[in-house]
A and B are shown apart, each in its own frame.
Chain A
């Protein structure tokens, strides 16, 4: 399992972290490709059921960022 890479479901707020991710991309910054981004309109849209669903369906991690 040495080449195992985690799948991390990321819930990013449209106005904050999603913007930051966009800027990171535009600035050609390098970051791990383990995150799978889901854009949410606001972190207030986040619900514990999203996090549990992600894990249930096999995600290795969940990251919520406002």
Chain B
């Protein structure tokens, strides 16, 4: 629907898998970083004078 596919991630990490957790954090962060800031699905804040 037009939100970039890499913005939303799903994964499954057991509570014993701290290394996998770190790997997934790195992967998610780098993918979102590659997409750049979220400009589409953001509600513009009303400007208060």
Contact = CB atoms under 8 A, between A and B. Distances in A.
User: Do any beta carbons of A and B sit within 8 angstroms of each other in the complex?
Assistant: yes
Given A8-B28, A61-B9, A62-B8, A31 B22 contact: yes
Interface residues of A, number: 37
Contact of B38 (A16, A59, A63): A59
Contacts of A18: 15
Main secondary structure of the interface of A (DSSP, over half): mixed
Given A17-B12, A63-B28, 16 more contacts: A8-B28, A8-B29, A17-B15, A20-B21, A21-B21, A23-B15, A32-B26, A34-B32, A35-B28, A55-B7, A55-B42, A58-B38, A61-B29, A62-B8, A64-B8, A65-B13
Interface of A: 1, 4-6, 8, 10, 15-24, 27, 29-32, 34-35, 51-52, 55-66
